[in-house]
Amino acid sequence: MAVPTTPAPVTPAKAAATSSTTPTPRVVATTPFPDQKPGTSGLRKRVPVFQQPHYLENFVQATLDVAALPADTTLVLGGDGRYGNREAVQTILRLAAANGVGRVIVGRGGILSTPATSCVIRERGAAGGFILSASHNPGGPDGDFGVKYNLANGGPAPESFTDAVAARTRVITEYRTLDAAAVDVDTLGEHALGGLAVEVVDPVADYAALMERLFDFGAIRAMFAGGFRMRFDAMHAVTGPYAAEILERRLGAGAGTVVNGTPLPDFGGGHPDPNLTYAHDLVEALAADDAPDFGAASDGDGDRNMILGRRWFVSPSDSLAVLAANATLAPGYARGLAGVARSMPTSQAADVVAEALGIPHYETPTGWKFFGSLLDAGRITLCGEESFGTGSDHVREKDGLWAVLFWLNVLARRPGESVERITRAHWARFGRHYYTRRDYEALPVDAARGVMDAVRGRFATLPGTTLGGRTVASADDFAYADPVDGSVTEHQGLRVRFADGSRVVFRLSGTGTEGATLRIYVEGFEPDPARQGEDAQVALGPLVEVALALGQVRERTGREESTVIT
């Protein structure tokens, strides 16, 4: 891969090839790479890994082989603009052309957020799409790169597909490409690459139109006109242009609402991860004396969101529950919800709302791909993850800006109520699910596995015993049977549930690229409004200690503290 801002070099010989008639597809011999199994969300590796000759080509060819697209199919292609994005776009276009794809719709500059890609696939009836992103992982030459393939429903390919791709990468012997000059993806309109039509589109247009159909833009515009102020931190990642168009221009939030709005190949050197640690500047801005009313941030590829009020943090699990309880205030959800789903480690706050609404709720493994079948079958309307992911049946990805607009819609329709007041009222009605997550990043793999083994090793004897004053109700290794297609997924996290409704969960990350990342999720339930006002870290302190002791975490990792506390 070359530096993204530099156009791919065109040798005179290659230029000559394109200036003649149609470039001829070429078969290139290759050998398999052993490490191309997609994780929680696509294939993610360090940039130097992707820079190895044939690495990206092998993975893309394997994906196209498994997809077995009919001739003249349409695909969508874009990425979050990170280092390597531009070069990878050209590589994929050449492979698509040589593999008989009919049309590729590309976001201008090779840019499309993850939810916008999902939107374009669905609106244009495409057979699928490639998303170039390692999401919240850092970018730049020493950062991460990633590739994800989505299907015709606009959602991440399910495990049956990604397992087949991984199997294919282990036996691949050749790929098909073209020798041709780079396509000008900075100019809107139709371009040709051999027999392939390349259509460069505005990455924001379709997406912004969809948002206008879902939310009450008139009410939100009136709220901003009335002096409501917000700050949106795009973290130098892909949502900058989307937020500027929708918040500042269409909703009149005012210039300067969007900060760090220019996507940069290295995200300005930061982690484009909207949480209390990596979006600390925003947290501080919302704590200032002249703080705006509302703060939000999004991640590298635009599918995550963090919601803040003045001196107030809404945990993602609570955000899902609040949106579910207030959904009918948004025009797109005025008819009510079919059901809700959350990933297993996400707090049970949304379940309580679903029960109050009399609608079904589902618990799925971590990763958006597990929501797809439920959304397609119409069993759920909203879904979310504790990892700052929220979404609905409007696309088949989680959607950062959508969640922000949903909150704005709720705020506009509950005039005079702050984010804090809305959250507190929610707790008073449904109970509060205290929640915290500890991430231990870049651990030696053996140490992380040791923690998991230690916890699992106690499963047989735990139920009925008392830990830190709480009785263990059950302990298991989470397995999920998809109620729509019957597929079974095992080993999705270790759960210890207590009789009082609290839980601790242990999982290893499937998106990290360095060593192993251990995640510990801790949840407690407090129905009494008089006791819902505590700081989550204080309220959950004893339960965190129970979890650390259970996994012998300090001893096995040698770490006193986690890398990130949410």
Of 90, 99, 423, 511, the residue at the interface with ligand VG1 (CB under 6 A) is 511
Nearer to Co ion, 135 or 169 (CB): 135
- Angle of helix 419-430 versus helix 349-357 axis, rounded to 10: 70
User: Long-range contacts of range 537-540, CB-CB < 8 Å, 24 or more positions apart?
Assistant: 537/436, 537/565, 539/434, 540/434, 540/435, 540/436
Instruction: Decide whether 304 or 433 has the Cβ nearer to ligand VG1.
Output: 304
- # residues contacting Co ion (CB under 5 A): 5
Q: Report the residue from 299, 318, 351, 523 that binds ligand VG1 according to the rule CB under 6 A.
A: 299
Question: Going residue by residue from 273 to 302, which x/- string records binding to Co ion, judged by CB under 5 A?
Answer: --------------------------x-x-
- Closer to ligand VG1 at the Cβ: 224 or 362? 362
Q: Please state the closest distance from residue 228 (CB atom) to ligand VG1, in A.
A: 28
Q: What is the closest distance, in whole angstroms, from the C-beta atom of residue 109 to Co ion in the complex?
A: 19
Nearer to Co ion, 115 or 295 (CB): 115
> Using CB distances below 5 to 8 A depending on partner kind, what does residue 159 bind out of Co ion, ligand VG1, none?
none
Closest CB 301 distance from Co ion, rounded Å: 4
41 binds ligand VG1 (CB under 6 A): yes
Give exposure, 258-290, as e/b (b: 16+ Cβ within 10 Å): bbbbebbbbbeebbbbbbeebbeebbebbeeee
Distance, CA of 96 to CA of 103 (rounded, Å): 9
- Smallest distance from Co ion to CB 93, Å: 23
3-state secondary structure 263-283: CCCCHHHCCCCCCCCCCHHHH
Residue 367 binds: one of ligand VG1, Co ion, none (C-beta under 5 to 8 A by kind): ligand VG1
Residues within window 128-187 making contact with ligand VG1, judged by CB under 6 A: 135-136
Tell me: does residue 367 bind ligand VG1 (CB under 6 A).
yes
385 binds ligand VG1 (CB under 6 A): yes
- Residue in 100, 510, 529, 542 binding ligand VG1, rule: CB under 6 A: 510
The CB-of-486 to Co ion minimum distance in angstroms stands at: 29
Residues sharing a CB contact under 8 Å with residue 252, sequence separation 6 or more, in sequence order = 221, 224, 225
- Let me know how long the chain is: 566
Other Cβ atoms closer than 10 A to 9: 8
Q: How many CA atoms lie within 13 A of 482 on its CB side?
A: 18
Position of tokens 């052309």?
Answer: 97
Among 63, 257, 315, 387, binds ligand VG1 (CB under 6 A): 387
Compute the distance between CA of residue 142 and CA of residue 138 in angstroms, rounded to an integer: 9
Q: Quote the CA–CA distance of 92 and 72 in Å, as a whole number.
A: 16
Reported in sequence order, the residue ranges of 376-417 that DSSP labels E, i.e. its strands, are 382-385, 389-392
- Which of these, 327, 330, 243, lies nearest to 282 by C-alpha position? 243
User: How does DSSP classify residue 304?
Assistant: B
Q: Which residue has its beta carbon closest to ligand VG1? A: 135
Of residues 303 and 526, the one with the C-beta less far from Co ion: 303
Choices 10-18, 360-368, 427-435, 523-531 (CB under 6 A): range interacting with ligand VG1: 360-368
Binding site partner of 41, from Co ion, ligand VG1, none, Cβ cut-off 5-8 A by kind: ligand VG1
Residue nearest to Co ion (CB): 135
Which of 83/368 has CB closer to ligand VG1?
368
Asked if 304 interacts with ligand VG1 (CB under 6 A), we say yes
The catalytic position among 41, 113, 118, 135 is: 135
CB 251 within 8 A of CB 221: yes
What residues contact residue 501 under an 8 Å CB cut-off, 6+ apart? 348, 524, 525
* Helix, strand, coil percent content, the chain, rounded in steps of 5: 35, 25, 40
How many CB atoms are closer than 10 A to CB 247? 25
**What b-and-e string marks burial along 197-208, b requiring 16 or more CB atoms within 10 Å of the CB?**
bbebbebbebbb
Q: Residue 349 in contact with residue 433, Cβ under 8 Å?
A: yes
Asked if residue 368 binds ligand VG1 (CB under 6 A), the reply is yes
Nearest to 135 by CA among 265, 204, 236, 44: 44
Question: Helix, strand or coil for residue 239?
Answer: helix
For Co ion, the closer of residues 156 and 261 by Cβ is: 156
- Catalytic residue check, 113: no
What does 366 bind: ligand VG1, Co ion, none (CB cut-off 5 to 8 Å by kind)? Answer: ligand VG1
Report yes or no: 475 and 458 within 8 Å, Cβ to Cβ. yes
8 Å CB contact between 144 and 86:
no
Contact flag: residue 265 with ligand VG1 (CB under 6 A)? no
Answer yes or no whether residue 366 interacts with ligand VG1 by CB under 6 A: yes
Contact status, residue 258 vs residue 404, Cβ threshold 8 Å: no
Q: Please, are residues 384 and 187 in contact by the beta-carbon 8 Å criterion?
A: no
* Binding piece for Co ion, criterion CB under 5 A, among 304-312, 375-383, 431-439, 459-467: 304-312
Counting contacts by CB under 6 A, is residue 316 touching ligand VG1?
no
Interface with Co ion in residues 135-174 (CB under 5 A): 135
The only residue of 57, 216, 248, 303 in contact with Co ion, by rule CB under 5 A: 303
CB of 490 to Co ion, least distance (A): 25
Q: Smallest distance, Å, CB 509 to ligand VG1?
A: 3
CA 132, CA 401: separation in Å to the nearest integer? Answer: 19
* Region of 130-138, 215-223, 328-336, 539-547 interacting with Co ion (CB under 5 A): 130-138
The window from 178-186, 221-229, 298-306, 347-355 that contacts ligand VG1 (CB under 6 A) reads 298-306
Residue 386 sits in the site that holds Co ion (CB under 5 A): no
Using the contact rule CB under 6 A, the part of the chain among 104-112, 249-257, 324-332, 366-374 near ligand VG1 is: 366-374
Nearest residue to 85 (alpha-carbon basis) of 263, 242, 234, 268: 263
Does residue 45 bind ligand VG1 (CB under 6 A)?
no
Residues binding Co ion (CB under 5 A) = 135, 299, 301, 303-304
Q: Which residues are catalytic?
A: 135
Residues binding ligand VG1 (CB under 6 A) = 40-41, 135-136, 299, 303-304, 343, 366-368, 385, 387, 389, 509-511, 519
